[in-house]
Amino acid sequence: MDDQRDNRSNNFIWLMPDNMHHQWLLLAACFWVIFMFMVASKFITLTFKDPDGYGAKQEPLVLTAVTKVEEVHVPEEKRWPEEFQPTGKAFSGNLIRQPLVHMERLELLRNVCRDTALRNLSHTAVSKFVLDRIFVCDKHKILFCQTPKVGNTQWKKVLIVLNGAFSSIEEIPENIVHDHEKNGLPRLSSFSDSEIKKRLNLYFKFFIVRDPFERLISAFKDKFVHNPRFEPWYRHEIAPGIIRKYRKNRTETKGLQFEDFVRYLGDPNHRWLDVQFGDHIIHWVTYVELCAPCEITYSVIGHHETLEDDAPYILKAAGIDHLVSYPTIPPGITVYNKTKVERYFSGISKRDIRRLYARFEGDFKLFGYREPDFLLN
């Protein structure tokens, strides 16, 4: 019996190294798995880091999504960050390229905003003047910055319906749209500082731009040529003020000419007249002065020239495409009319055109519009 006990004891002693060997192998395997997991986690973090961070602190772009997002397949190198993913159903036709177009526009904007050489033309304070231009839809968390002469009336109608003042765009009387006492569109300036900051940080924000010179022509025609009866001050108060200061031929008795208008806008000392004209200047001041695009992180910037594509995209990105549609756009109305622009500027001196461009250069550069050919010749 003692021999048996000795044998068992000897067997146990021989088994101990084997058991310890297996334990060490198991422990080493566990460390290897943990190490590989850490490496994989680091790789994933580096791979999917936001490509649009540019090393600068950016406010988050928050899109209000109310419907399920269907993944749009794009090549891996062209895949966009999650905050730019469209809401609603997948795009079809040429709309599938829209997210990339809008990413490029926002990237261009950020790059120009960082250009110190253009800082005086691209930056402005987020003042009450800017906050007065931004309309609020709290129900759907949307901010819209008004840039007159680029189809803003239709976007106001969209927001009026979303805010519940009217059930459809067709029901809105034209005289209500711009009556801010009756249209149910609060301005961002009407909120407290903390409420303003919250909305700027969290809401979907957008505005529309157009070729800067064509927009000025539109403003001139609308306010000083085809002046509506309910806005007589443009022709009877503002026009005479511009003529007195900027008309070269004082014996000329015609109404305000485009040449007078260009001299006024291109004058580095135009602000003393702007103060006299008050908020009426919103129809021709720069997009920078209206919306502060380098200070406010906008979600989308639409272009009037591509509004047929941009309007549906904005509605989808804001998550409201199932609630309202943008009004029908008449064929050809948004197309850039190069011939018209050249005709209007054909009688203007190069000096006056260059001074005008110097003021609006920020708008041209921020939003990707080419310097006019007639300015280069």
Q: 């900051």: which residue's tokens?
A: 197
* Per-residue model confidence (pLDDT) at position 49: 33
| Nearest alpha-carbon partner for 143 in 54, 55, 62, 210 | 62
* Per-residue model confidence (pLDDT) at position 26: 61
Domain that holds residue 151: 97-375
Task: Compute the distance between CA of residue 321 and CA of residue 67 in angstroms, rounded to an integer.
Answer: 10
* Per-residue model confidence (pLDDT) at position 33: 54
Is the residue at 87 inside a domain? no
Question: pLDDT of 25-41, one tens digit each?
Answer: 565 665 665 555 554 44
Q: 204 pairs with which residues across the strands?
A: 142
Q: What is the 3-state secondary structure (H, E, C) of the chain?
A: CHHHHHHHHHHHHHHHHHHHHHHHHHHHHHHHHHHHHHHHHHHHHHHCCCCCCCCCCCCCCCCCCCCCCCCCCCCHHHCCCHHHCCCCCCCCHHHHHHHHHHHHHHHHHHHHHCCHHHHHHHCCCCCHHHHCCEEEECCCCEEEECCCCCCHHHHHHHHHHHCCCCCCHHHCCHHHHCCCCCCCCCEHHHCCHHHHHHHHHHCEEEEEECCHHHHHHHHHHHHHHCCCCCCCHHHHHHHHHHHHHHCCCCCCCCCCCHHHHHHHHHCCCCHHHHHHHHHHHHHCCCHHHHHCCCCCCCCEEEEHHHHHHHHHHHHHHCCCCCCCCCCCCCCCCCCCCHHHHHHHHCCCCHHHHHHHHHHHHHHHHHCCCCCCHHHHC
39 burial level (CB within 10 Å; 0-12, 13-18, 19+): exposed
* Per-residue model confidence (pLDDT) at position 281: 96
* Per-residue model confidence (pLDDT) at position 358: 97
* Per-residue model confidence (pLDDT) at position 70: 34
Is the residue at 125 inside a domain? yes
Is the residue at 221 inside a domain? yes
Residue 19 CA from chain centroid, whole number: 67
Residues of the chain with pLDDT under 50: 1-17, 39-93
Question: How far is the CA of 136 from the CAs of 194, 199, 205, 225, in angstroms?
Answer: 15, 9, 10, 32
Is the residue at 14 inside a domain? no
* Per-residue model confidence (pLDDT) at position 184: 86
* Per-residue model confidence (pLDDT) at position 89: 34
* Per-residue model confidence (pLDDT) at position 257: 95
Task: Compute the distance between CA of residue 66 and CA of residue 87 in angstroms, rounded to an integer.
Answer: 7
Is the residue at 141 inside a domain? yes
Task: Quote the tokens at residue 118.
Answer: 């253009």
* Per-residue model confidence (pLDDT) at position 38: 53
Going by C-beta distance under 8 Å and a sequence separation of 6 or more, which residues neighbour residue 240? Answer: none
* Per-residue model confidence (pLDDT) at position 231: 85
Whole-prediction pTM:
0.74
* Per-residue model confidence (pLDDT) at position 30: 59
Is the residue at 329 inside a domain? yes
Is the residue at 116 inside a domain? yes
357 burial level (CB within 10 Å; 0-12, 13-18, 19+): middle
Buried b (16+ CB within 10 A) or exposed e, 252-263: eeeebbbbbbbb
Task: Compute the distance between CA of residue 107 and CA of residue 110 in angstroms, rounded to an integer.
Answer: 5
Cα within 13 Å of Cα(176), Cβ side:
15
Is the residue at 137 inside a domain? yes
Q: Count up the domains in the chain and report the number.
A: 1
